[in-house]
A and B are shown apart, each in its own frame.
Chain A
């Protein structure tokens, strides 16, 4: 089975599309303030639908939270 890291967690890569991975993880791609990096490079929102992941990729999905 192909495995990626999604926010630090080993995650099965059942379909290569980034949006499909987000969907399976229960992450809504339409929410405001979300940003994504794949292998430590930021992927602009407009590019998300074109991104295909491969085994070993590291995906970071972040949002703003409270802080000082």
Chain B
């Protein structure tokens, strides 16, 4: 029987669908939302390169999104993307990767790319766990959670990655959840359009390897929790820190203009080229 086709499939390597994500996984929603953002922007995927690392969320663009894709080593997608972007500033370079990838093993690349303010869009899918490897503690796992490598409960506080990236110098930073699909599409459009380093932390669900450890067995239960815990950043700013315990601060954390790395690099390079040109014209 012929099946209905969502037109977002135009942006997907359709021949390999359905994807491999577990039922109710947030990665699928991020893929869905991402294709909608690209569609709204009327971006030609030929003018895009999607870069990812290792982990479930790395699979969102690689292989599912139909553009040039670079599926790299664990934690390094932003560093690989830097090489692509400086050489081809005309291409939109998007990194989609997980919290373990980008804020754990690849944390150094993340903060330095934000500091340089290179024109990359980094969408970090934060499921608060190492899902693909079987539910080990991540730098984003809340304190007190039992994971397969913190059987006596996690004693570490989690990273607030969006705040970290904002402090490091990114032009655009936002945080949304996989429940806030309309806002997330809008944020992705803004991030991709923004000149400079743009970062969206997407709080997402892993019903299998995280959910079963915290008593949330389905995507539905996670989304209900996100809906309940989300607090807009404007409201959050008015509350004392202790009232924000267990809340997910959502919204736009930063949107500012700063010199962008790729254009600055090409500017200084062109200056040197022009200098040689002028010198040679003087001689001849």
Q: Do A and B bind each other?
A: no
Q: Which residues of A are interface residues toward B (Cβ below 8 A)?
A: none
